[in-house]
Amino acid sequence: MINKENTDLLLFLITLVVTPIFCLRLYRHPLFNQKKGFIMYLSFLAMYPLINMIGHIVAISIFTYLSIQDGTFIYTFRTYSLQLYGVVFALINGYTLACIKQLSRGNWHLYKSIVRMNGLQIVLIFPSFFLNPLALLPTAASLLIIISLAVAKRKSEKQEKYNQIYKPTPVEIA
């Protein structure tokens, strides 16, 4: 059997390595115009559940392969639902990362889309918390993403209003 603590630590370390690489790629884009720490924070919150779901898919696939090799494999709804669980939530977190990529370039029109996807993830995954306490991880990450984006959007709107009110008028010298 796989040691869960070591696997969770390995997935966390992979996330710590992959997130800065992903963010470095975002920072080098000529249209990047957000705070680097904020984008790193959002990317980490979306990347950690994504890496965990990929690990979940790999683990289910390995166990399925081993049971096929032993000749004890029986395709059940449990196998199907565990694979579907991993794929759906990996897609949701992948979509969130894609939206964060666009957000780093100043496309705040994706704000509602990110909030909807993370809200969907909370609604779908929170009920499984009672079966597996690890389900609280993507729920907490999604909730933090929603709260962080709401605060950032509010601050940017206030800054935009301030810039419109106190916009210096150009003076022409004849």
For residue range 53-71, list pLDDT tens digits in order: 999 899 899 989 999 999 8
Element (H, E) at 122: helix 111-125
> Which tops the pLDDT comparison, 60 or 158?
60
Judge whether 153 and 108 are in contact, CB under 8 Å. Answer: yes
Percent of the chain residues past pLDDT 70, beyond the cut:
90
Quick one: average pLDDT of 16-29? 92
Residue 159 has pLDDT above 70, yes or no: no
pLDDT value of residue 65 = 92
Long-range (24+ apart) CB contacts under 8 A made by 65-74 are: none
Average pLDDT over residues 74-96: 90
List all residues 6 or more positions away from 73 whose beta carbon is below 8 Å from its beta carbon. Answer: 64, 67
Domain boundaries, the chain: 4-151
Instruction: Specify the pLDDT at position 29.
Output: 87
